[in-house]
Structure 1
Amino acid sequence: MHDPRKPRQLKPRTLQVLVIDANNFSRGLIGEILRSLNVTNITSARSEEMAASYLLERPTDVILLSWEEGDALDGLAFVRKLRKHEDDQLRRLPVVLITAGLTRQMVIQGRDAGVDEFLAKPIAPNAMRQRLEMVVETPRPFVDCNVYLGPCRRRKNPADYYGAKRRAGERVAERPAMIDQDEVAAQTPMRMLLAQLRQTCTHLRASRPEALSTAFEQLKTAKDLAIEAKDHALHAGLASFESYIGVATPLGQLEEPVITTALTALEQLAALPQNYAEARDSVALALGRAIQKKIAA
């Protein structure tokens, strides 16, 4: 087995990735994005126990750990256990933490637990590719001492900076400074509209009478934008979500997991460039099927 901390060229078709995510739909989204980048050797786990078993059974190059505060799967606890694993190869594996609620405090906690890099949701394919390049081509040195086990924490904000203020002798990645893809995407009309829709959905769950009409207005505007952009996948996803809230709200049967999953899928579709057609179609189709199944139940 190769040293997971030895720099090497990223070869997507041979890269072996373990995706850990407690949410089935979210795991599928991450898998679709990986496949759009030609990463096909993907193992998926929904729990810490399943992930630990797979790590012993199957070769792994990179771990993608999706985690939100409040999840049943404690992502940071998993990373701490991994860094103390008796198998030296396993405890040195690079970990990329994927989250929708990335804060400075989470970054600090993640670094202290042993996370290598961070990736914000919704995931831009280029951002995913860049994180994979970072942990494979320019991995952080591994620190093994009494007070800390994990990747070196001295490089600050490596995902955002490749400039001149680096420690002497530290390897400089030969690629341009990254732009925060999610920050850019958040400025688009569609992304801002989806953010408003997410807020409206909190009012829906609180049974505010005006919230349903507001949600329908926002969905109509979003669908019009999708039609204007010839974005058939996003339009289909919006229509599916519209059907769900139209049926479930009057019956008082709105379910938080369904709303969260649908909004996450819509935000992911808005972040995925249209040239990732196969991945986008898969996301829209999966969302449509999930909602139709829920409506029919």
Structure 2
Amino acid sequence: MYGDSIHIEDVRKKRRYDPRNIRATIACSNRFNRNLMLEIMRTLGALQVDGAKCNNTLFRTIEDQRSTVLVIDWNDEDEMNVVDAVKRVRRYHDDNIRRIPIIATSSQLTKEMVLEGRNAGIDEFLRRPCSPTDVEKRLKMVIETPRPFVDSKVYIGPCRRRKNPADYHGPRRRDRDQSNIKDISDAEKQLIDKKAPLSVALSGLRMACELLSSDPKGAPKRIRAALNKAKQIAVQENDQAFVKTLNSFEAFMEIVIHSPSAQKNASFIITTGITTLEQLLVLPREFGSARETVSNAFADAIQRRMAA
């Protein structure tokens, strides 16, 4: 129990955005994705950020840290059922937790997920891979312009009236407003600009890896060529984190190529590798610590898998 002298702030009160005042909980069963978001939040200046990997840990962390925002990852492979977890938050006995702003992240965000999430009580949505700029925009939404909270018999959560397209990055929110990317760095534009060299190279690597199942004999040559091309471009652009991740990916793929039995369990690492490279594309170079964390985390994952 907390003493009466402790002031519990209204998490739904409109206030000025200051990352130093954010107390965030990152809920995700996948350690790689959880640590990545923790690092992004820290690079933005958040001083108190904690992770939770399951429902029991989630509520304990929110209560202990008196969190002011919850970022929850929505993934079909995740142990945590996001919709159920959000509904539990919105019906929690502690009013401060019940009203906490919730931002859902997902690499597979669909309109159906947005509708289901809205009805469960999620405030904002964010597609992964996401840049620090994307994360900061969602944080500003729930801090500077929080949705009114509805508490009724049929629905508990933020008001669902405000239109909020999941992929909209513009400064305003009307249909006639155009998305404005002039403030997005060159690194973030890599995924927006499909013709950017690294984006093209990564697309080629993704397609080459997909051939493992449909053309196992021809795939190795295509994969090696795609990896070499991506590394050449990354070296030319002096992107050390990208090069390191490609080297880790290459080491794993050589094992997969030479061991047919390893191919059966390779899909998760291949998907994680492509996702990691996509994430590096949208992380600006000035976020060197976050990019290094992403690269090191994938290298560690490869080492653990190769040692197993």
Using the size of structure 2 for normalisation, the TM-score is 0.86
Instruction: Flag structure 2 segments of 5+ consecutive residues without an equivalent.
Output: 1-7
Which residue, 17, 22, 34 being the options, matches 1:10? Answer: 17
Deviation at 1:295, TM superposition (A): 2.3
Cα RMSD after superposing both structures: 2.3
Which residue, 242, 246, 249 being the options, matches 2:254? Answer: 246
Q: Which residue of 2 aligns with 1:267?
A: 278
Deviation at 1:69, TM superposition (A): 2.5
Pair 228,293 (structure 1): closer, same or farther in 2 beyond 3 Å: same
Pair 164,240 (structure 1): closer, same or farther in 2 beyond 3 Å: closer
Matching of residue 36 in structure 1 with residue 47 in structure 2:
no
Aligned mates of 2:47, 2:122 — CA distance in 1 = 23
Aligned mates of 2:54, 2:135 — CA distance in 1 = 22
% of aligned pairs identical? 35
Q: Which residue of 1 aligns with 2:202?
A: 194
Measured against aligned partners, the alpha-carbon deviations of 1:126-183 in whole angstroms (never above 9, x if no partner) come to 01011111111111111111221111111112663554859xxxxxxxxx96549778
Q: Which residue of 2 aligns with 1:144?
A: 151
Deviation at 1:124, TM superposition (A): 0.9
Deviation at 1:257, TM superposition (A): 2.6
Alignment of 1:275-290 (within 5 A): 275-290=286-301
| Aligned AA (2:159) | C
Deviation at 1:59, TM superposition (A): 1.1
Does the 8 Å CA contact 2:163/2:173 hold for their aligned counterparts? no
Pair 65,192 (structure 1): closer, same or farther in 2 beyond 3 Å: farther
Measured against aligned partners, the alpha-carbon deviations of 1:49-100 in whole angstroms (never above 9, x if no partner) come to 2102222222101000011134321111111111111221111100000000
Aligned mates of 1:24, 1:165 — CA distance in 2 = 37
Aligned mates of 1:227, 1:96 — CA distance in 2 = 36
Aligned mates of 2:33, 2:173 — CA distance in 1 = 37
Q: Which residue of 2 aligns with 1:256?
A: 267
Q: Which residue of 1 aligns with 2:240?
A: 232
Does the 8 Å CA contact 1:234/1:266 hold for their aligned counterparts? yes
Instruction: Flag structure 1 segments of 5+ consecutive residues without an equivalent.
Output: 167-175
- Would you identify which runs of 4 or more consecutive aligned residues in structure 1 move more than 3 Å? 161-166, 176-184
Matching of residue 185 in structure 1 with residue 185 in structure 2:
no
Q: Secondary structure at the match of 1:65?
A: strand
| Aligned AA (1:35) | R
Using the size of structure 1 for normalisation, the TM-score is 0.89
Alignment of 1:1-297 (within 5 A): 1-157=8-164, 160=168, 163=172, 165=174, 179=181, 185-186=191-192, 187=194, 188-205=196-213, 208-251=216-259, 252-254=261-263, 255-297=266-308
Q: Secondary structure at the match of 1:264?
A: helix
Say which is worse superposed, 66-75 or 97-106, in terms of deviation.
Answer: 66-75
Does the 8 Å CA contact 2:14/2:145 hold for their aligned counterparts? yes
Aligned mates of 1:105, 1:145 — CA distance in 2 = 23
Does the 8 Å CA contact 1:26/1:261 hold for their aligned counterparts? no
Equivalent pairs counted in the alignment come to 288
